[in-house]
Amino acid sequence: MNEMTDVERTEKFFKDILNISEYIKNNAKVSFEQVIEHAKTLNISEKNYVVDILQHLKDNFVVTEFNKKIIHIQDLPFVEKYVQSNINQFVWADDKDTSNKFGLSFDPSFELLSVSNKKDVFLKSKWEGKIVEDEGQKTFVAIKSLEALPHHILVIQDDRGNYRILNNQVGYTIPQEILKEKIETFSQEKQIKLEHDSIFEIKNHGSQFDVVEFKGLLRDKGIETKLIHEMIELKKEPVNSSIQVKELSVSPELKDIPMITIDAISTKDRDDGLFARYTYDSNGQKNGYELFVFIANVSKYVQKNDEQDLQAQKLTSSVYLANQTLHMLDDHLAQEVGSLNPGLNRDTLYMRATFNLKGQLTHSEFKEGVIHSAGAITYDDVDRILKSENPVESTIGSVNLHQMQYNDFDVMLKLKNIIQDFSKIEQNIHVLNELNHAIEQTPERKYWFVDSPEYKIGENGKIESLYLDNRNAMDSHKIVENMMKITNIEAAKLIEAHFPKLGLYRNQVSPSDAQADDMSISVKPKSAFYSQDNQGHWALNQAQYVHFTSPLRRLSDLVQHRVVRAIINKEEAPYTPDEMNDLSEKINYKQYVYKQAYIKEENLLMPQYLQSLVESKKLANKYDVVDVTERGVVLRNKQLIEHFIPHFKVDRIMSKVIAPYLPQLKSSDDAQAEMKVNEKIEMIKHLNQSFDVKGYLDRYHWLSDRKQVSYKYYERNDDKNNQSRNQERKMRM
């Protein structure tokens, strides 16, 4: 048979395109496998040839791929949409432009219209395209750009000389020939020394780029926080801090209560304190516990819609970035006037609750009162006291143990003055711990959760190391967490009983109705949110739940304080249902924005840390399996660097071990709904006992995202693999 000429080959290609296009059109939507089978009827056996045909059809917007189906879109009507993007490169289409100066938008809705070809579009732009629907899901195919709206971008030069846009995840590039000369001219005019890690703000209007400002160097301390502030428009206006605390006398009923706060050593805004003691029957026999949870009475100083409150409504919570904490309220109020500082009398809104010896709650009530703080005890010191060790870093009364110099002349006098207070504090802590262990809590949902590494910031403002937070294993943290949880639950019950539409309920809906009542099932919980309509909290297994215990840090808690004070003082409702609805929407929106900001900050900091490990040749290559999902395997080394490996890239031998578990990892809502926690733990333990996994970062430059990781899998207790491993080790030495 004679070979086809180029003309004949081209004619056949377009004939096959028409045939396959007609096949997809007649069936509306088909799988790739179905297209391959149809191609065989046309005597087409080469898979890559079919792939080329489909790519041609996609490039010309005849078909698109969605939900693993190839869908014919040529006859669908055109619609106009604005392309929106958040700070972490999630892209969606909307009827209006809601983006800010930097082309970023924030929408916490779970039903956004995704953009299927997001790599072909650019920020803050209007597009003509088509909406594709499959199985109740929709996506927008952007086809023609109609308008590019002016916006600002932040750029840094990568190792190839091009300019990477930092507004989103590092990815979009501006060729150096477009910006290099303008940046050099700007730097000369402003007398700025141009460095390899210089960051500039550029105004982009259409195809025109103008340099606006030099922002700093990537190596600068806190540059990430500075950029985040601008990108999410995070501003805190100065507020008149004329609030002063007059001399307060301790409430008569609280005079014998040595309340303590339990926080980290660095905490300055102390908004909750604890005290517990035994109760006795008429015969002097111990019959239960009495618990007091004191919360700073911030709403007594911050009135609804005053200057402080409007500031709180703007921020909705304190913001904790790596190199800066932005308090929701004025610093003077958050750290002095409203803070339950040691050795001082402070206004509180407190819960008094009683429990029997089994830890079952028998009564609760809320009151206002002035309490004296006997001490600010750190978490670590609480755990030391519970182990019969001496505290070393707390403040008892006005004496800071951490700052005491044991060669001071008056050190013994100081110790003598606090010894009586300390004895009461010690007793309080032991009773709190005993009550905590006795409490018969409603069991919480058991679901699979892998702790994510957290980072420690060094003096240079960059990541110094990663660590796993083990606070949940410490008795001190369990005491605080459980007592706060009880207070939140009881506050929610009180609010629902008196002003049911004035609760900012912290809701979390069930991830799967079929699994909702099985407490042993491991599932992926949905995000919690605020609403005036109570829907219960699924993970905590509570019919109602509010946030009440952190009014210095969260607007929701401050608002609920006003509601509770109105209840106990028999006053009119401080809010209308419409006001509460507006507040819940505002808080949910800000919560989403801050979550995106934290992710973005980590995305700027973490690659620099990885780069430093690579350059110093300190990156560990031994990895353990820490999680297995229906999509792939998560590996982690001793430095807590994680990599995700899709199943199709996992070693064949290891895949055989994982395969039997995969059907159990799938569910209708993409959660791990049928895998019990203990079974998954055993599977991961088995993988780590059976395999050695090594990952080699062959090359890496985070600005260009040029990362190549190769993995070697060694089955343990296998002589051949052990020999291979030894040979490779010798080759690398």
Pick the closest to residue 613 from 652, 576, 639, 584 (CA basis). Answer: 639
How does pLDDT run across 286-343, given as a tens digit for each residue? 999 999 999 999 999 999 999 999 999 999 999 999 999 999 999 889 999 899 999 9
User: CA torsion 116→120→123→125, rounded to 10°?
Assistant: -90
Positions of CATH 1.10.10 in the chain: 6-72
Contact (CB, 8 A) for 312 and 297: no
> Residue 482: enclosing H or E segment and its boundaries?
helix 475-498
Cα–Cα dist 364/386, whole Å: 27
Contact (CB, 8 A) for 128 and 78: yes
Mean pLDDT of 381-393: 91
Burial classification of residue 604, based on how many CB atoms lie within 10 Å of its CB (0-12 exposed, 13-18 middle, 19 or more buried): buried
574: tokens are: 């401080």
Q: Of residues 199 and 614, which shows the higher confidence score? A: 199
Which of helix, strand or coil describes residue 28?
coil
DSSP letters for 537-603: BTTTTBS--B--S-TTTBHHHHHHHHHHHHHHTT---SS-HHHHHHHHHHHHHHHHHHHHHHHHHHH
Query: Which residues are registered as beta bridge partners of 507?
Result: 529
Q: Of residues 390 and 534, which shows the higher confidence score? A: 534
> Residue 489: enclosing H or E segment and its boundaries?
helix 475-498
| Sign of the four-CA dihedral 498, 499, 504, 509 | positive
CB atoms within 10 A of CB 431: 18
Which pLDDT score, from 0 to 100, does residue 733 have?
29
User: CA torsion 488→518→628→508, rounded to 10°?
Assistant: -30
Which of helix, strand or coil describes residue 357?
coil
**Which residue is associated with the tokens 């707390």?**
394
- Rounded to the nearest 10 degrees, what angle do helices 577-615 and 555-568 cross at? 150
> Residue 611: enclosing H or E segment and its boundaries?
helix 577-615
Cα–Cα dist 348/294, whole Å: 6
∠ Cα 553 559 565 (to 5°): 115
- Rounded to the nearest 10 degrees, what angle do helices 6-27 and 47-59 cross at? 70
Contact (CB, 8 A) for 21 and 61: no
Which pLDDT score, from 0 to 100, does residue 524 have?
63
Model confidence at 445, in pLDDT bands (50, 70, 90)?
Answer: low
The answer on pLDDT for 698 being more than 80 is no
How does pLDDT run across 167-195, given as a tens digit for each residue? 865 457 889 999 999 999 999 999 999 99
Task: Give the fold, CATH level 3, of 79-148.
Answer: OB fold (Dihydrolipoamide Acetyltransferase, E2P) (2.40.50)
Which pLDDT score, from 0 to 100, does residue 521 have?
47
Pick the closest to residue 160 from 176, 148, 145, 172 (CA basis). Answer: 176
222: tokens are: 């806190």
How does pLDDT run across 28-45, given as a tens digit for each residue? 899 999 999 999 999 998
74: tokens are: 């040529």
- Rounded to the nearest 10 degrees, what angle do helices 379-386 and 411-438 cross at? 80
How does pLDDT run across 551-571, given as a tens digit for each residue? 999 999 999 999 999 999 999
Which of helix, strand or coil describes residue 261?
strand
512: tokens are: 């799967």
Measure Cα distances from 456 to 226, 334, 351 in Å: 19, 25, 36
Strands (E) in 297-428, as ranges, are 319-321, 324-326, 345-356, 361-378, 395-396, 399-400
Mean pLDDT of 208-219: 94
Which pLDDT score, from 0 to 100, does residue 674 have?
45
The whole-chain average pLDDT of the chain stands at: 86
How does pLDDT run across 495-554, given as a tens digit for each residue? 999 999 999 999 998 876 444 455 444 456 788 999 999 999 988 889 999 999 999 999
Query: Could you say which DSSP state residue 95 is in?
Result: S
Which alpha helices (DSSP H) does 121-175 contain, by range?
A: none
Model confidence at 654, in pLDDT bands (50, 70, 90)?
Answer: confident
Burial classification of residue 689, based on how many CB atoms lie within 10 Å of its CB (0-12 exposed, 13-18 middle, 19 or more buried): exposed
∠ Cα 703 641 222 (to 5°): 55
Cα–Cα dist 660/551, whole Å: 49
6-72 CATH pick, 1.20.1070, 3.30.750, 1.10.3470, 1.10.10: 1.10.10
Taking phi over 0 as left and psi of -120 to 50 as alpha, with beta for the rest, 458 belongs to beta
The answer on pLDDT for 582 being more than 60 is yes
Which pLDDT score, from 0 to 100, does residue 649 have?
77
Cα–Cα dist 577/585, whole Å: 12
> In residues, how long is the chain?
733
User: CA torsion 78→84→89→90, rounded to 10°?
Assistant: -70
Positions of CATH 2.40.50 in the chain: 79-148
Q: Which of 134-148, 268-282, 356-370, 510-524 has the lowest mean pLDDT?
A: 510-524
Contact (CB, 8 A) for 462 and 517: no
**Which residue is associated with the tokens 């106009």?**
80
Cα–Cα dist 538/509, whole Å: 6
How does pLDDT run across 71-106, given as a tens digit for each residue? 999 999 999 999 998 888 788 999 999 999 998 998
Task: Name the percent of the chain in helix, strand, coil, to the closest 5.
Answer: 35, 30, 35
Contact (CB, 8 A) for 232 and 105: no
